[in-house]
């Protein structure tokens, strides 16, 4: 076997492998056995037909190709391990057979992505400041107000009632641009709480005073930065009809209100909410300081060209995170696309810069862990696995996954990642 190595762009390496006729021939019998496993050949059990019989059945070319693929499969790991000493590969290799003919040498090209070289700059004593979390009285009052809104009671308004601020109005809405209906702009029984300005600024003012069954037509300018790009900055015509009007009774925030949330008093409720707000703010401030630290380290480092496959994989992961996040909020991704007027490909393009940043951060953490000799002990991995087994004790599939060697490797990397990040925070983030 002859091996030629060539460096490509974007941290890819190409190998050209050439095998002799003798090397391929040595695999013909095994190739015939494998092919015959999927064939019905009279007089022979699957996988037991002789080489010559299989050749007559499928042709010499198919047999030679299978032998070549088996040979490549045997040799490829050894070639990569020998040729890429000190390099970590990304994903699996792409293999293309470029020369193939019975009783002739076989040539193939193997392309594999590798992690680029990283030269760290300064990564200690960066002096990143952690902002102290303090209670924001406005946020506290808003939280209590939102909780009161959750306990709001609604009553169907009496006949002749004119809609006023605080009422919920069910509307049939049609939207037009230059007298042409907007695609997806017709909706039935849209709930609008007057005074919230959920749809577009000025909309609620146009509805005030309307009665059940009332109809109105009006025009409003959409803000330049409106999320619906097809309407942003444009004069939009509305045609609405009122289906129902509901009076809303928002409870007063007092001790009786607090008992509904299992607190003894409003004061106790305010203290508990304050603690939660401070805790959440501490978490957000910590995340902000951590990101600032990592960005400083990345900016001061030199990182080679990132493999496209790595960036694409990270972007796909971010897309899945977005979809799960929308589902958690009770939203559908397809509806989100329609609402924003974007395609999935456009969203993916928007995610790419963030994916590049994530990959660079992962590269930095890996390099720091190597330099600082951060390791995960077997006992640490065993403890994680024990916790997971307890958590998933009733999930047979999850338990099976947790016990695999690949998952153990994943846990090892995750522990090293966490320990490295904690070290960096100790060295760089100060209160």
CA distance 25 to 20: 9
The answer to whether residue 300 is domain-embedded is: yes
Our count of domains for the chain comes to 3
* Ordered alpha helix ranges (H), 329-404: 333-340, 344-371, 378-391, 396-402
Identify the three-state secondary structure at position 88: coil
CA distance 358 to 367: 14
> Which tokens in the block code for residue 410?
């994943």
CATH of the domain at 215: 3.10.50.40
Q: Are 250 and 142 in contact (CB under 8 A)?
A: no
CATH of the domain at 407: 1.10.3120
Based on the domain organization, do 58 and 179 belong to the same domain? Answer: no
Based on the domain organization, do 167 and 284 belong to the same domain? Answer: no
**Tens of pLDDT, residues 343-400:** 999 999 999 999 999 999 999 999 999 999 999 999 999 999 999 999 998 888 988 8
Is 50's pLDDT higher than 80? no
Query: Whose structure tokens read 């522990």?
Result: 415
**Tens of pLDDT, residues 278-327:** 999 999 999 999 999 999 999 999 998 888 888 998 999 999 999 999 88
Last residue within a domain, chosen from 114, 144, 161: 114
64: buried, middle or exposed (CB in 10 Å: 19+, 13-18, 0-12)? Answer: buried
Would you say the C-alpha torsion 389, 392, 397, 401 has a positive or negative sign?
Answer: negative
The answer to whether residue 132 is domain-embedded is: no
Write down the pLDDT at residue 42: 72
pTM over 0.85, yes/no: no
CA distance 32 to 57: 10
Residues spanned by the domain of 79: 2-114
């Amino acid at each position: 076997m002859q091996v030629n190595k060539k460096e490509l762009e974007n941290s890819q390496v190409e190998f050209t492998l050439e095998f002799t006729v003798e090397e391929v021939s040595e695999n013909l019998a095994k190739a015939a056995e494998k092919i015959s496993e999927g064939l019905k050949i009279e007089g022979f059990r699957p996988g037991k037909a002789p080489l010559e019989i299989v050749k007559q059945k499928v042709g010499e070319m198919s047999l030679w190709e299978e032998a070549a693929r088996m040979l490549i499969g045997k040799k490829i790991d050894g070639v990569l391990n020998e040729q890429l000493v000190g390099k970590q590969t990304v994903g699996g290799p792409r293999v293309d057979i470029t020369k193939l003919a019975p009783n002739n040498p076989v040539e193939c090209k193997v392309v594999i992505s590798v992690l680029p070289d990283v030269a760290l700059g300064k990564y200690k004593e960066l002096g990143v400041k952690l902002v102290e979390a303090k209670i924001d009285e406005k946020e506290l009052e808003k939280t209590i107000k939102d909780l009161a809104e959750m306990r709001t009671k609604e009553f169907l308004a009496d006949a002749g009632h004119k809609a006023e601020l605080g009422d919920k109005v069910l509307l049939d809405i049609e939207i037009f641009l230059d007298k042409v209906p907007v695609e997806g702009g017709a909706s039935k029984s849209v709930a609008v709480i007057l005074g919230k300005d959920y749809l577009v600024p000025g909309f609620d003012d146009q509805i005030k005073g309307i009665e059940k069954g009332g109809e109105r037509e009006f025009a409003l300018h959409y803000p330049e930065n409106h999320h619906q790009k097809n309407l942003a900055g444009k004069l939009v015509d509305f045609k609405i009809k009122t289906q129902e009007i509901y009076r809303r009774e928002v409870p007063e925030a007092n001790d009786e209100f607090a008992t509904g949330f299992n607190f003894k008093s409003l004061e106790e409720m305010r203290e508990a909410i304050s603690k939660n707000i401070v805790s959440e703010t501490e978490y957000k401030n910590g995340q902000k300081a951590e990101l600032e630290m990592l960005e400083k380290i990345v900016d001061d480092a030199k990182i080679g060209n990132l493999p496209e496959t790595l960036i694409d994989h990270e972007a796909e992961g971010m897309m899945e995170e977005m979809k799960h996040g929308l589902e958690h909020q009770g939203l559908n991704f397809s509806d989100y696309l329609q609402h924003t007027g974007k395609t999935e490909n456009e969203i993916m393009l928007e995610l790419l810069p963030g994916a590049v940043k994530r990959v660079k951060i992962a590269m930095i953490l890996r390099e720091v862990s190597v330099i600082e000799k951060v390791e995960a002990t077997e006992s640490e991995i065993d403890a994680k696995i024990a916790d997971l087994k307890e958590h998933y004790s009733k999930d047979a599939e999850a338990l099976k996954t947790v016990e695999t060697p690949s998952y153990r490797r994943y846990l090892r990397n995750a522990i090293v990642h966490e320990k490295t990040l904690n070290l960096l925070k100790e060295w760089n983030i100060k209160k």
